Amino acid sequence: MFVHIRAALCLAAAALALPAVIAPAPPAAAAAAALTVTDLRVNTVTDPLGIDNVRPSLSWRLTSPVNGERQTAYRILVASSPGRLSPGSADVWDSGKVATANSIAVPYGGPAPQPARTYHWTVQAWDAGDQPSAWSPAARWETGLFTTQDWKGAQWISPDASTAAAPMLRASFTLPSKAIAGARAYVDGLGFHELRLNGAKVGDQVLAPANTPYGERNLYSTYDVTSALRAGGNAVGLWLGDGYGPRFSPYGFRWSGPKQAILLLDVTFADGTHQTVTTDPSWKWQTGPITANDLYAGEAYDARLERAGWDQPGYADTGWRAVRTVAAPSAALTAAALPPVRVVATLPAARLSQPQPGVWVYDFGQNIAGWARLRVQGAAGTTVRLRTAEELLPSGLLDTATNRSAASTDTYTLAGTGAVETWEPRFTYHGFRYVEVTGYPGTPVMGSLDARVVHADVRSTGTFSSSDALLNQIWQNNRWAILNNSMSIPTDNPVRDERTPPGMDVQAYHDASIREFGMNAFYANYLADLPPGTALPNDAGNAQQPDMGGNQVVLAWALFEQYGDRDTLAATYPAMQRFVDTNGAKVWTTGFGDWCPPDLGPNANGGQGNPSAGACQSEVSIVNTALSFRQAQAVAKAAAALGQTADATRFNQLADSIKAAFNARFLNADGASYGSGRQTTSVLPLAFGLVPDANVTAVGARLVDTILNRNGGHLDTGIFGTRFLMDALARIGRVDVALTVLDSTTYPGFGYEIGRGATTPWEQWTYVSNMETHDHAMFAGINASLYTQLAGIQPTGPGYATLVVDPHVPAGLQRAAASIDTVRGTVASSWTVSGRQFALDVTVPVGATATVHVPNFGRGTATVSPSAGATQVSADGTRTVYTVGSGGWHFTGSVAPAATTALPGAWPRCAGETGTCAFTGAQTVAFGAAGRFGYATLTGGTTCGNGVFGDPAPNVSKACYVTAPPPAADTWTQCATETGTCAFAGTATVAFGAAGQFRYATLTGGTACTNAVFGDPVPGTAKACHLTAPPPGTTTWTPCADETTTCAFTGTREVAFGAAGRYTYRRVTGGTPCTNTIFGDPVPGTPKSCYVQ
């Protein structure tokens, strides 16, 4: 062990030189500033420890009680101590007053930082009135080690060539009896390591270091160990595990060298002197109680082999062997900048069963990544076996099919101390919900085992809730899957013998993860480790495929949009450029495509599936060519953001060429479909903007027809089609169809999985398949659309400098709310619908401006409160658009009528849905079914589709009808002339119009008979209101269930749910619960019933 004591070094003059000009302290403000500076971050982290980049980025947030407030300038002070953080005294850097609104990723502009130093900083901001804020609370950052020389002679050490499973390395050292001002440990140990000082573990991270391409980049950790040291004798220990060793998947980064470690412990005393402790040949090693450890197989621990006190001073290490020095694994060590992996939660058991004598099964109620912690008391030598799985067999025993060859088994052999022994693994992890316990001495109880949730400790930034309980559960399941697959790398699953970072998975769900969690540093680290154009480590064969290798292109751009991360974008841009240039305007014929759509053949077995189910490659050519278009657009936008204008023009032209080639190759002659016509073949073109403008209506109508009729309201999509399904339907105003899909509880769909007990999304839509882990994040991408479409929150400037709030309000959903804790502060959108009244609350952080779209269907103008600071941009018959600055805003508007009435009189049918209704001259056309119709007066014929009329009856096959007589006297009674009042009690359907042209609304307690309520179906003509409110008639509809009971039938039927003339309709197969959850609530507060046709 090398111990070195040196005198305190003066701070380098270059590091502490004053700027050439330091702005004087600003004069006292004439008025109080409206801004407060808070949440100072360096490289997106609060008070980071051990960073090694010489130009860190500085960010802060701003708060204000005043709506519309903004920063107009800032001033940054950086000093060597908190006491020097004042104007004129800052001895490292004073930015002076910089006129800008930017508070995100501001480059540090002072002298180059020195290694192993602490820098203190503070910020002042000027508001819109040029008034300065108070200085922010002081923050700090601490540099790590920059070069090999900074490691002060520390050497890589290792046990002998026949290294034990988990060797323990130790050294002792003595510190003088004087006050310690601070101490830092810089350490890396391969495969995994645990640092220990004076008998205790240092820090709370686990499974360190991060998985990297070890021959190119190794990450060291920095720990503050000040409180762990003492005057006199001390001991330091390093416990090493296999990590991502030779048995790790060939598609991941493997560490194939010996177990080895390096450490520098730097102690600073109050008098300014230093003492260092480093790894060198004087260290010793010995075997320990971990007799086996493997990422897939698990860990074996024999407590009888523990070496008590091995990491404490005074331990007699006689018999321990000398370490050897070994070569460094790579040219340089890099500071770990990603969120560490930690135990982030502990779950108690939800259930305990005994399916066989001596076999106990714990159910933790949630699929997680991590391990189980055991409490046991018994005789020495007793071995308790913990085996994990995601599912159970009908017998109650574990179903380990999804583990594949991963044994996922941990064993603990008791020391037999007579006391309760508590143990958990160190160097493995599993994906599981259930733990099987065998060999337990006596009878275990619920508290004998708990589950430790382990993943990258990323901050939760997204929230979502709605009036749809199933939708909320889908959101929650997908969040769990993202976390379970975020270790030090993004993984495909935490369960079986892979756990590698496939590019297509990340490409399909990163839009969700960056909204749900603070993933900037996590994904920046991932991008740094991907060789140019590589989809997976050691997977060159897929490197240039848009579905795999193209992940890095869209991910780097997404990080810039979400976080304003220009550094990562600039670092990745050369690889982005090469990738897209290499692919050009190619029409693809190879790749993975829309990975894992539902199996709709006999192997699906109603969703149960079997080992033959699941042909995962799908629509390869369309998907990869569409993704190639999106990637060309991403590079064009990146080029523009980085000031590469010539590149931006070139890549936009390339995107145009890909679009032309795509439509020439895949757009069918009918102009309404692409390729095979499966859902994804239209979803991606609509979502990405590939469909020619003239074809959008027809393609959208065909997609809706395919979903509702051909696929019975179910999805037929793999990972990319599912990710962009709601986005495509939002493009044509049909988010209601996406809600129908997500609300489906039969195969295939998220609801079917949840009905089978899923707490994370499956790899395939069937329960059993030829690839069947039940914790795959690749389908979690749909969560992004809950934020961008239902809540309507979308960034339009980097880091939400500008944003749009444009919520889609589908029938059947009464409430949706989402928030994102962005780099600038919270962005939130929360809306409710009551009848036709719409209310929207929006929160915009200081430093951002928002464009807000408020639905307003024929009910006059929308309103905003407070009105000061909100500017109305436009208004039409469907929406009012405002621009607002920071703060909280309340808007009101109105939504379209939830339903229209039954078809009046005798209307001849002229076409089925998607067909053409042909006629000459002007005609009023009714479109719909099941008592719900939309009306339009048209000339010379029309397409019979939702694109023309909207969708009056979701999930129902519709038709067009012509010849519109006035409401028939035997079914409709005139109740008022125009401008009068139509009086009635309860709820009724009212027709308003004349000359065969009517608008319909279902209303309660009477209504004014005016254009303001109904719109104007016959401009310039005197109109009247007519009244009726027929429930489904007994001649065509049969009552089948009261609310909360089950409407039972076989086959596929149309079901109406409601009362008092207000109904919602769904096409359902095999019966349905008669509840608001399934149908939405057409008559809040009123008992309802189901009727079947």
pLDDT digits (tens, 9 = 90+) for 17-44: 222 222 333 333 334 578 999 999 999 9
State yes or no: pLDDT of 1035 exceeds 80: no
Give the residue from 690, 695, 673, 692 showing the smallest Cα distance to 682: 673
Please give the Cα distance from 282 to 699 (Å, whole number).
73
Fold of the CATH domain 800-891: Maltose phosphorylase, domain 3 (2.60.420)
Mean pLDDT of the chain, nearest integer: 89
| DSSP codes of every residue in 412-460 | EE----SSPEEE--SS--EEEEEEEEES-SS---GGGEEEEEEEE-PPB
State yes or no: pLDDT of 441 exceeds 70: yes
Predicted pLDDT at 990: 78
Predicted pLDDT at 904: 43
| C-beta separation of 703 from 721 below 8 A | no
Look at phi and psi of residue 365 and say left if phi exceeds 0, alpha if psi is from -120 to 50, else beta: left
pLDDT digits (tens, 9 = 90+) for 870-899: 999 998 878 899 999 999 999 999 876 544
Give the residue from 449, 289, 302 showing the smallest Cα distance to 375: 449
User: What percent of the chain clears pLDDT 70, i.e. is strictly above it?
Assistant: 89
Chain length of the chain: 1093
Please give the Cα distance from 348 to 354 (Å, whole number).
17
Predicted pLDDT at 500: 82
Least confident range from 220-224, 370-374, 812-816: namely: 812-816
Q: What is the mean pLDDT of residues 490-500?
A: 91
Query: For residue 969, what pLDDT band results from cuts at 50, 70 and 90?
Result: very low
Q: What is the mean pLDDT of residues 396-405?
A: 94
452 token code pair: 């430790």
Fold of the CATH domain 2-143: Immunoglobulin-like (2.60.40)
Please give the Cα distance from 738 to 813 (Å, whole number).
12
What are phi and psi for residue 42, nearest 5 degrees? -120, 125
Q: What is the mean pLDDT of residues 136-164?
A: 94
Q: What is the mean pLDDT of residues 289-295?
A: 96
The bridge status of strand 849-855 relative to strand 802-805 is: parallel
Q: What is the mean pLDDT of residues 196-222?
A: 96
State yes or no: pLDDT of 711 exceeds 70: yes
Query: For residue 970, what pLDDT band results from cuts at 50, 70 and 90?
Result: very low
Please give the Cα distance from 423 to 450 (Å, whole number).
11
* pLDDT greater at residue 277 or residue 954: 277
Which residue's entry shows tokens 């790899």?
Answer: 763
Highest mean pLDDT among 683-692, 1035-1044, 1084-1093: 683-692
CATH class of the domain defined by 150-289+301-335: mainly beta
pLDDT digits (tens, 9 = 90+) for 774-784: 999 999 999 99
899 token code pair: 């339903």
916 token code pair: 């053409």
* pLDDT greater at residue 549 or residue 425: 425
Q: What is the mean pLDDT of residues 1047-1072?
A: 74
917 token code pair: 């209704």
What are phi and psi for residue 156, nearest 5 degrees? -75, 130
DSSP at 819: E
Q: What is the mean pLDDT of residues 933-957?
A: 74
Predicted pLDDT at 858: 61
Rounded (10°) CA dihedral 356, 372, 390, 446? 50
State yes or no: pLDDT of 475 exceeds 80: yes
Q: What is the mean pLDDT of residues 393-398?
A: 97
In this chain, the answer to whether the domains covering 150-289+301-335 and 341-456 adopt an identical fold is yes
Please give the Cα distance from 375 to 134 (Å, whole number).
53
Domains of the chain by residue range: 2-143, 150-289+301-335, 341-456, 462-788, 800-891, 909-1028, 1038-1092
Query: For residue 992, what are the β-bridge partners?
Result: 999, 1025
Query: For residue 359, what pLDDT band results from cuts at 50, 70 and 90?
Result: very high
pLDDT digits (tens, 9 = 90+) for 580-596: 999 999 999 999 999 99
* Angle subtended at Cα 858 by Cα 856 and Cα 863, rounded to the nearest 5 degrees: 40
State yes or no: pLDDT of 252 exceeds 90: no
Query: For residue 163, what pLDDT band results from cuts at 50, 70 and 90?
Result: confident
pLDDT digits (tens, 9 = 90+) for 841-874: 999 999 999 999 998 876 667 899 998 999 999 9
Predicted pLDDT at 15: 32
CA distances from 605 to 231, 249, 391, 623, 713 (A): 70, 32, 19, 27, 19
Radius of gyration of the chain (CA): 33
Q: Cβ neighbours of residue 993 under 8 Å, at least 6 residues apart?
A: 966, 999, 1014, 1017, 1018, 1023, 1024
- 621 alpha carbon, distance to own chain's centre: 27
pTM: 0.83
Query: For residue 946, what pLDDT band results from cuts at 50, 70 and 90?
Result: confident
Predicted pLDDT at 540: 57
State yes or no: pLDDT of 1026 exceeds 90: no
SS3 (DSSP) at 467: coil
Predicted pLDDT at 4: 52
- 54 alpha carbon, distance to own chain's centre: 31
Predicted pLDDT at 24: 31
Predicted pLDDT at 538: 52
CA distances from 700 to 725, 913, 915 (A): 12, 13, 14
pLDDT digits (tens, 9 = 90+) for 555-614: 999 999 999 999 999 999 999 999 999 999 999 999 999 999 999 888 899 999 998 887
Predicted pLDDT at 1084: 65
Question: CA quadruple 878, 881, 887, 891: dihedral positive or negative?
Answer: negative
CATH number corresponding to 341-456: 2.60.120.260
Fold of the CATH domain 462-788: Glycosyltransferase (1.50.10)
Q: Cβ neighbours of residue 271 under 8 Å, at least 6 residues apart?
A: 8, 178, 179
Please give the Cα distance from 610 to 1050 (Å, whole number).
25
Q: What is the mean pLDDT of residues 1075-1087?
A: 71
State yes or no: pLDDT of 1062 exceeds 90: no
For every residue of 320-372, which 3-state class applies, written as one string?
A: CEECEECCCCCCCEEECCCCCEEEEEEEECCEEEEEECCEEEEEEEEEEEEEE
pLDDT digits (tens, 9 = 90+) for 90-135: 999 999 999 999 999 999 999 999 999 999 999 999 999 999 999 9
State yes or no: pLDDT of 544 exceeds 90: no
